[in-house]
Structure 1
Amino acid sequence: MNYPPARTVGVVEDVAGIAVPDPYRWLEEETPEVRAWQREQAALATSVIFDGVDVDAVRDLVLAYDAGSRPALPRYAAGLWFRASGSGVVASRLPYGEGREVLSLDEGVLSWLAPSPDGQVLAAGICDDGSEHNTIRLVEVGSGRPLDGPVQVLHSAWAGGVSWLPDSSGFYFFALTGSPEEFQQAVFVHRLGTGTALEPVPVGTSKEYTLIQASTSWEVASHRVGSPIPVAVRRPGQEWRPFITDCPGTIAGHIVGDHYLAVTDVGAPRGRVVAIALDDPDDWTELVPEGDTVLRSLTPVGDRLYLSEFDQVFARVRILDRAGTMVGEVPLPARGALSAPFFPLTGLAVGNPAPCFVFAFSTLTSSWGVYSHRPGGDLETLAAPSVTLDATIGEGRAIAPDGVAVPYHVVSGGSTGAPVLVSAYGAANVPLLPAYQPDLAAFVAAGGTLVQAYPRGGGEFGRDWWLAAHRERKHVRDADLVAVAEHLIATGLAAPDRLALTGGSDGGLMCGVAATTRPDLWRAVLPRAPLLDLIGGTRDPYLDFVIRKAWGDPDDPEDVRRFLRLSPYELIRPGVFPAVYLQAGATDPRCRPWHARKFAARLQAAQEGEAPILVHVFENAGHGAATGHDVAVEQDTEWLAFLIRSLGLRI
């Protein structure tokens, strides 16, 4: 391959007393030289990937299965349902009924929406560059008249957007206090017609996310995005007081009367439901004990509680009364998954109490539908799935080096000897769900077989499964992945010359480790929006926050040595590597595009084989959540074309 030249520099970083050479440090900068190099790499990637491939046919396939993308759930307030529709927000009397446009978007992506409890004002988060950074727009529902709102920028939608006060006079929100690059955030309160002020929630100097939950009697500050706890409480108008401040586990719940009803893994790795008295943090009552399923979230609906859980990764929803007694179960359409935020904290932003439980549901072979259920009633289909994949679902288990069985699902169109794509994540207590993903469905429709693996580190099987590949045990995730790949080859489901791997974000790091440490296993590796340089990540305030949580202490020499053994950029040595296609977003605030640039440059220089090492940084694309639809389609088209080219598929 005739790659755009990438010079090296003699930079050596001192990290906790350890000298770390960084020959491609210059690619971290956003200079004209770097942008030109990035454009040349993108042009090369496109020319190589689409050589001999029918671009229009691939795009048509992507669009056909993208039709099953997750629908936006409507939000309820004062007899109205608000939902994203086209390029705006519509309000109607029924969840998906004909309605009136309340907010029109000429440009930008809707990150979230939150109507006031009285239905008079709509708050919405708007992102205009794919980055997830969004600003709050306020409109008067009756007239569509814009209202003055806060000027602060929200780093993402992870804290739920805004939390309205019950009297609709204003709302709390969590936003940046400076530039996005500084990654300093705080809680603010905005009162309609008055203005915005900092809200002094006692959470110290932590960069962790905080979401305020408000009722007429209590306000609760839930703190920590991945394992939230009710860190502070108060009566409205009174001072905040610390509540549960020293707890390594998760306590994720809602205010119900004078109690905080929550799912917790404290004393129960698979979860239990408790009621905590809001006037006494030591007064806990167990409502639902730990069982065989993994409890995930709780949603109050009237005088009932809808308890979402995982039964061997498949969704189950039980209905409880306020005392925790089971009074029913939601008859789900099939064995599949409910739509849910990545992190428990975001799931606490349920908005105004709705008269029914509204949820999105899909399977590995059928796209997202939207359903509602009322206590004592039947399941109602609000929006039916639009795509059904002609494939079967199987399952298997691979045995990791320490004897633990690592499960996976197989989605196959029935072709014998079809190329196999492994998709996995295994990090941050985030569950990889048995749910519909348009890009993966398009790969199966193109003749491939999908293996969705569940290595340790994810949230599929409870707290112990997560912690088994957390911080100093991060390497366990990589060993689990190798065990799955070797098992697929040993059982004849896959062959090394037709086996590919993909993953995003921390899953992109997993891909980088796999490509550099076991290149013999893979024909192609496709990291998306990847984290690839752990040492460099410690210089980024956001990633420094993530690395300290999930990996270790960059100020500890032993932890730094461990980083060096697990950081893909540092693992590159001259050798023969599989085909690699790195896809990144120019405005990604989480895994900045320089990760893909530096890794690609170093791997291109180290490649002694003939397989291409390609990188494409897409403009106006971020980490995925706020990337515009047209850009996402182009990303998926190139990603799928690379697989088609690398694995010899024909469409």
Structure 2
Amino acid sequence: MTKLTYPETRRTDQSDAHFGVTVVDPYRWLENDVREDEDVAAWVAAQNEATFGYLKALPGRAQIEKRLRTLWNYEKFTLPSQKGGRIFYGHNDGLQNQFVLYTQDDKELPRVLLDPNKWSEDGATALAAYYPSPDGSLVAYMVQDGGSDWNTIRTVDATTGAVLSDEIEWVKFSGVSWAKNGSGFYYSRYPEPEEGEAFQSLNLGQAVYFHKIGDAQAKDARVYARPEAPETGFSAEVSSDGASLIVTAWKGTDSRYEVVLIDLENPDADPVDLVTGFAHDYSYIATAEGRHFFFSDENAPKGKVVSTPAKPGAGAVQWMEVIPEADGVLSGVNIVGGRIFANYMEDVKSAVHLFALDGAPLGGVDLPGPGTAIGFGGEPDDAETFYSFESFNRPPTLYRYDIASGALSVFREPEAPFDPNDYEVAQVFYPSKDGTKIPMFIAHKKGLDLSDGAPTLLYGYGGFNVSLTPGFSVTRLQWMEMGGVYALANLRGGGEYGKAWHDAGRLENKQNVFDDFIAAGEYLIGEGIATKDKLAILGGSNGGLLVGAVINQRPDLFAAGLPAVGVMDMLRFNQFTAGRFWTDDYGDPSSEADFRNLYAYSPYHNIHNGEAYPAILVTTADTDDRVVPGHSFKYAAALQAAEIGDKPHLIRIETRAGHGAGKPTEKIIEEYADMWAFIAHETGLCVPAA
């Protein structure tokens, strides 16, 4: 293959001293915001011109996009919520850029309440979340523009569809919780950033506010804050009985919280500290029979349910264990209709068990097979709940569950343009470098010829206690339909087996994650499923870091890599927006021990000249304010400057798209068509004719 000529990238003599180590950083200027720096904008334009020219010419690229568009074009629904007898859910007729919010009650047919597709010409303004009031008459909703983490809260009348004048800005990492009487809601926000700093400056000084419907934001009352600790963030939730505000304080991504109880019926009462010390996960579930119920991992690394009196008396807070730790990981808990719905992961597959409020077992919810169930939301006195079930070869089906009788009915079921029975899914357990058994799902078309290995895409994440459970994706299905194998490895660092599994893949143990992923590739090759020249890898965000790190460590093992929106500079990740939260998983670069650990695997700093690297297509977005695009810009520049062989090392930079949330359907289809064409070409997958 002819060696690519990449756009020239200016180098500087920037370097920093860290604990006696001089670290060069010649592309630091690429950290600047593309909206504010003309040189960075010009570099982005030049890179995209080269990349899109290359991708457009790849064999099969047009066929992939055409088929992907056909597969995508079926009705989709989001999990419903119910308030005051009114049901709310998202609907997409197939190729709409954004889901439309519908509402209905027992007396009316479903009707459109909010259509984000009308909010912008390019489809990049999204409905990020919505929160119906207790009686269902109003809905507070969050607007996300261009994929940014910043949200604006607005309110709509659920009966008339009229959007109210209320508008709240500079909201990030927050939900909305309504007062029981519907007069207003609680939310968390940061101070307004300095001019030009909204998409890069550190997020500090979050506080909880109350907004009264009809008031201007300037009148919102600050309810709770810790100005002496600006690094602390907060979420606030009104208790099920409306009598308390539960404020959860957090400092990072690790689930270690403090919990404060504010008496809403007695404004003069001092807040009560329910949980102190940032040592454990205490997450509020609901209030029932005079007790607050919480999920906790204190002395229960796989999770348990505890409760405490809703009106604490004098002295220490009294906790009572309701559901003890089990063999499976407790991944979700809800209290609806006087029952506890406990959603467990058992070998990375959902199992839903029911309990009385005193912890007595009441059976379970029958699921269609191995897969992922989510939902079971509602209030303690609701008569029904909704949930969704999906798997690798099964799109999400929405179910309605009557709590008193246990009767189950389908609420919405998609009619997809493919037969799920054409695909098979298996779960295997393979040994990592240290002998630890790692689960992995392997999916492909039934009858696929594996005699010479097949083009295989291996996906992983391995961090932040995130669990990768069986889920449906049109893009995965297309890869399999074309004759590829899809493999998903449940690496350490995730939450698939509880706190110990997470701890085994973070901080000084991060190398275990890379070893697990490398071992997954070796297993696929050893079993004859793939070969080295047919194996591609994909990961996003922390998974982008994963792809970059393992390519540096084992460039011989892979044919292609797709690091998406990755954390690539492990020495400066904590200098931007939400990056400081990630020290829980990565460590702090200002600590010598952490620095040496981070520097040893940082993708940007460990590209090895003289070794033949696989083909790499880096993907990011110019408005990503979660993992700022400077990570990917610098990494791509370093790849292109290195002597690492003649395979293409390109970067694809999307416009008006952030870290992933809210991305329009059209942009998703175009991006995956580019990625699948890239790895199909590199792994020898012959794209079927259109």
The bucket for the TM-score relative to the shorter chain is: over 0.9
Find out whether 1:59 has 2:65 as its counterpart. Answer: yes
Alpha-carbon offset, residue 633 of structure 1: 1.7
Q: In structure 2, what residue type is equivalent to 1:369?
A: T
Q: Cα 1:70–1:226, aligned 2, differ >3 Å: closer, same or farther?
A: farther
Match of 1:134 in 2: 151
* Mapping 1:497-508, distance limit 5 Å: 497-508=533-544
Rounded Cα–Cα distance in structure 1 between residues aligned with 2:497 and 2:258? 24
- Conservation of the 8 A alpha-carbon contact between 1:319 and 1:327: yes
2:353 corresponds to which of 309, 315, 318: 318
Q: Cα 1:70–1:205, aligned 2, differ >3 Å: closer, same or farther?
A: farther
* Mapping 1:94-243, distance limit 5 Å: 98-105=109-116, 106-107=118-119, 108-155=125-172, 158-159=173-174, 161-179=175-193, 180=198, 181-184=201-204, 185-194=206-215, 195-201=219-225, 205=229, 207-215=231-239, 216-224=242-250, 226-227=254-255, 229=257, 231-236=259-264, 237=267, 238-243=269-274
Alpha-carbon offset, residue 354 of structure 1: 4.7
SS at match of 2:224: coil
Q: Cα 1:644–1:301, aligned 2, differ >3 Å: closer, same or farther?
A: same
- Conservation of the 8 A alpha-carbon contact between 1:49 and 1:645: no
Match of 1:561 in 2: 596
Q: In structure 2, what residue type is equivalent to 1:336?
A: G
Match of 1:343 in 2: none
Structure 1 length-normalised TM: 0.93
Rounded Cα–Cα distance in structure 2 between residues aligned with 1:230 and 1:67? 45
Rounded Cα–Cα distance in structure 2 between residues aligned with 1:113 and 1:484? 39
Larger CA deviation: 60-69 vs 361-370: 60-69
SS at match of 1:233: strand
Rounded Cα–Cα distance in structure 2 between residues aligned with 1:251 and 1:231? 7
Match of 1:600 in 2: 636
Larger CA deviation: 4-13 vs 250-259: 250-259
Q: In structure 1, what residue type is equivalent to 2:103?
A: A
- Which whole-Å deviations, capped at 9, do the CAs of 1:175-213 have from their partners, x for residues lacking one? 221224331222111011344122224596253542212
Q: Cα 1:351–1:329, aligned 2, differ >3 Å: closer, same or farther?
A: closer
SS at match of 1:119: coil
Match of 2:284 in 1: 253
Runs of 5+ unmatched residues, structure 1: 341-346
- The number of residues matched between the two structures is 639
Alpha-carbon offset, residue 379 of structure 1: 2.1
- Conservation of the 8 A alpha-carbon contact between 1:131 and 1:627: no
Match of 1:629 in 2: 665
Larger CA deviation: 363-372 vs 216-225: 216-225
Runs of 5+ unmatched residues, structure 2: 93-97, 120-124
Rounded Cα–Cα distance in structure 2 between residues aligned with 1:103 and 1:407? 41
Rounded Cα–Cα distance in structure 2 between residues aligned with 1:9 and 1:242? 51
Alpha-carbon offset, residue 350 of structure 1: 6.4
2:463 corresponds to which of 427, 431, 444: 427
* Mapping 1:265-280, distance limit 5 Å: 265-278=297-310, 279=312
Q: In structure 2, what residue type is equivalent to 1:165?
A: A
Rounded Cα–Cα distance in structure 1 between residues aligned with 2:104 and 2:579? 41
Rounded Cα–Cα distance in structure 2 between residues aligned with 1:94 and 1:332? 27
- Which whole-Å deviations, capped at 9, do the CAs of 1:494-515 have from their partners, x for residues lacking one? 2111011101100110000011
Alpha-carbon offset, residue 18 of structure 1: 4.2
Match of 1:543 in 2: 579
Rounded Cα–Cα distance in structure 2 between residues aligned with 1:34 and 1:43? 14
- Which whole-Å deviations, capped at 9, do the CAs of 1:81-132 have from their partners, x for residues lacking one? 122345643220169x732333343222100011111222111111121223
Rounded Cα–Cα distance in structure 2 between residues aligned with 1:518 and 1:399? 17
Alpha-carbon offset, residue 307 of structure 1: 0.8
Alpha-carbon offset, residue 463 of structure 1: 0.8
Could you tell me the percent identity over the aligned residues? Answer: 27
Larger CA deviation: 351-360 vs 290-299: 351-360
SS at match of 1:296: strand
- Conservation of the 8 A alpha-carbon contact between 1:373 and 1:379: yes
Rounded Cα–Cα distance in structure 2 between residues aligned with 1:6 and 1:23? 10
Larger CA deviation: 177-186 vs 83-92: 83-92
Find out whether 1:42 has 2:48 as its counterpart. Answer: yes
Q: In structure 2, what residue type is equivalent to 1:415?
A: D
SS at match of 1:89: strand
Structure 2 length-normalised TM: 0.88
Match of 1:394 in 2: 426
SS at match of 1:515: helix
Rounded Cα–Cα distance in structure 1 between residues aligned with 2:381 and 2:612? 57
SS at match of 1:245: strand
Rounded Cα–Cα distance in structure 2 between residues aligned with 1:351 and 1:576? 58
Find out whether 1:5 has 2:5 as its counterpart. Answer: no
- Which whole-Å deviations, capped at 9, do the CAs of 1:522-561 have from their partners, x for residues lacking one? 0000011111111121321421232x22111222122111
Larger CA deviation: 504-513 vs 251-260: 251-260
Rounded Cα–Cα distance in structure 1 between residues aligned with 2:321 and 2:507? 31
Rounded Cα–Cα distance in structure 2 between residues aligned with 1:354 and 1:447? 47
Q: In structure 1, what residue type is equivalent to 2:677?
A: A
CA RMSD of aligned residues (A): 2.3
Q: In structure 2, what residue type is equivalent to 1:393?
A: V
SS at match of 1:368: strand
2:365 corresponds to which of 330, 346, 357: 330
- Conservation of the 8 A alpha-carbon contact between 1:76 and 1:354: no
Q: Cα 1:560–1:429, aligned 2, differ >3 Å: closer, same or farther?
A: same
Rounded Cα–Cα distance in structure 2 between residues aligned with 1:440 and 1:431? 18
Rounded Cα–Cα distance in structure 1 between residues aligned with 2:149 and 2:74? 23
Q: Cα 1:27–1:613, aligned 2, differ >3 Å: closer, same or farther?
A: same
Rounded Cα–Cα distance in structure 1 between residues aligned with 2:568 and 2:360? 47
Alpha-carbon offset, residue 421 of structure 1: 0.9
Larger CA deviation: 416-425 vs 482-491: 482-491
Rounded Cα–Cα distance in structure 2 between residues aligned with 1:351 and 1:646? 52
SS at match of 2:399: strand
